[in-house]
Structure 1
């Protein structure tokens, strides 16, 4: 049987037998224990419980030569199905390849009351060695792990503002807390040792720009992998490239295509304990500063009969630290991904975004998005109608046999099912 045809228990058993899950992780997912009170109270203020979302697996991913079962947390039925579908087509053509990746976090020390920018910049430049020493003393453990301040920039701004930018290598963490600690230590040093007259520190804080936390991944899909019963692979590939190009001309279409990419990105980020707000902010900034409104690119290669895709994405994420280390399910997600480095995790997340994009574009230019989408949504419709236990699957199948399923019909079929039972 195919992976998606197995029961939840059978999927877990398959992952355990294949070595993707330890016996401890298998038991945890099988028994679904609640987070204990100490974790809940430590992670959020005024805790009243926990909010559950479905935790699933997308298979068939081949990324930089490594096979992955990718954990995804989402309430949307079609996201994991689309990811697995697209990944299978890409894997058959060689998989995803990381082209470029960098993982530097920016911290800002903002100075106000500057009257002579050139003179202040000179003082800051002369103090650069001391600034680096202060940064090291603020987080010496970061340097021991191979990270630390990699670049310092001085940016003169209007109305008496100047920015000292610290570009920090947080190794495998996202690094928000360490960036803030370093920035605040540097700010205190500057106020005492460097600033003069009316010059004062306004604040010291990380930036969510994501400018130097980016990854670029590529894939190539054989036209034969895109064909339908009615359309040749070349025709489908041509339509995908055309629709993607239309997104560069039309912001309304571009924002929807980007949302489809983020369906996959957010689902993996959530499963691995990363900050969706930080990703959202950095993607917004990236789109504002680039020349195209759409994140992905799909182009035809007629000579080799390939559809070539690429995605460049800012991903301010980590694979250690914060909630990542606190949540048991997050640790299981990372276990499934072979405990990746932050850069490896960036490649995985971006690959899922691009494969969700491929699956959505293929659906849009062939049968339309609703055919597969509503087939999966009818399970939710069955739940809304009041189905429980085994009734859900039976009603789900009945609803998929009609052309237009709605809640009224679902309730009617459920009552018939119960009468028959």
Structure 2
């Protein structure tokens, strides 16, 4: 692949747009860093205040009206702006940045392509964030149904499931087997750098489109990925790509969105390197199976302690039968969006395990200026525990889980609500 000429993007000089989205409906800090997706990068955007005599442009004013207008402004947000945390990532075919600088709206900008239609980009972002789902109503429903959920809901607002591309989700979660979030993110970035199409450089980080299935099944992929540190996962990535390219239709994974969960799950576990847990994660996070509850040892312990203590008499290990029992229990308790509720409980449970050394996170400095609600412990929704089916390698991953659990809870205090029109 030809080495691209870097095209550095200055976040502070982009054209920004916005749409209504209360903080109770979306926490960027949690949802873009908790292990659903592995390619979002946080950076601090310094915004120099405009002199008070500088008039506000028509475009800027309309970007903060109360409708869904996608008009934008160049450069600074308003006279009170100083710095915000911007998250940059690839959504569909667009390289975008997202941020929240007030309680009521999400700001966004597109880097590539230059001539992207604003309405189309915003539509893709809204779909990716699954904002058609009323999370506030779901939190109330889950709180009414479960006292345990009610106790943690106020501390973990805005946690939802992203609606991601099935191909990217599948191969990202193949990388997640017996792994931790920072290493998964590194692997996915390497995969994109090796086989994806370069888009631009933002805050010193190169961004690429996710590789196509054809690119991942090309000759020599497995060997190259092994050299890049993917280990046994290299074989599964190449083999699954080969099955999809040679034995399935091009849009096969996307068509699984229209299939029943059992059928979609059965198709996924036929792919090399995909076990029940990875298949459940793909179903929940990419295939619109909102009631799927990926069960790992953390979820098992929560179920055993708070909901179904009788599980202890059945088995001391997490068997497929136990996984089914736990999943059915939470589906009955929480309803059609049980998988979403599970992600909130998961985040709350990981936060309880905090208290060790602080993790050295590249997002910490950027996230410190975020206007989201207090963050849940940043940890993977998918990687705290992998079943033996997914691992297929030495070790049981307990060391990985201990490392993820050792991070302390956030100490940042809630910020006072701020209006976009300040």
Greater fraction of residues in strand: 1
Q: What TM-score comes out, normalization by structure 1 length?
A: 0.25
Greater Rg by CA: 1
Q: What TM-score comes out, normalization by structure 2 length?
A: 0.25
The structure whose RCO (Cα within 8 Å, separation 6+) is larger is 2
